[in-house]
Amino acid sequence: MAKLPFYNPVEQKVLIRNMITVTRYHDISAGHRVAGHESKCKHIHGHNYRFHFTVAAECLDSIGRVMDFSVIKDKLCQWLEDNYDHKLLLWENDPLLKQLIEIVPDDIVITPFNPTAENMAKYLVEIVGTQQLQGTGCTLVKCIVDETRKCSAGYEIKY
């Protein structure tokens, strides 16, 4: 039997930070297609997406919060409403983009990634979270994207 590597939290304490987290989810509907997909996801289709945002702080504010839930709504959920809700997400390198953008330019959001749930989660943490939570003292450390009730993808910053 393979032995798991020994993990000593004392020796590795430099890598460990205490974090307190809060999580809020938000639902939107959006279309996409996965360019290069072997099967039906190559077709334009949509999902009722659910995004779970986990925000962390190293300490609580004066009344005991990481961040008020309404701030998560204003800064992250609203970003989804403004940028992705009821839009068609297409990768900037998608061969269909050039034609579709001529027909329905207002319906399309051009993404710098093939719009899988995995890439959306990564982009939301690395780019959107960093931008939207700037100056708050909090960090978006995790995002889980549910495409259906059965299928999710997530991206998480590990300290």
Report, as residue numbers or ranges, the catalytic residues: 41, 86, 147
Tell how strand 20-32 and strand 88-91 pair up.
parallel
Helix or strand run (H / E) with residue 81: helix 78-83
Residue type, position 134, single letter? Q
Handedness of CA 25, 30, 34, 37 (dihedral sign): positive
Sheet holding 45-57, edge to edge: 108-111, 88-91, 20-32, 45-57, 139-146, 152-156
3-state secondary structure of 152: strand
Distance CA 106, CA 37 (A): 25
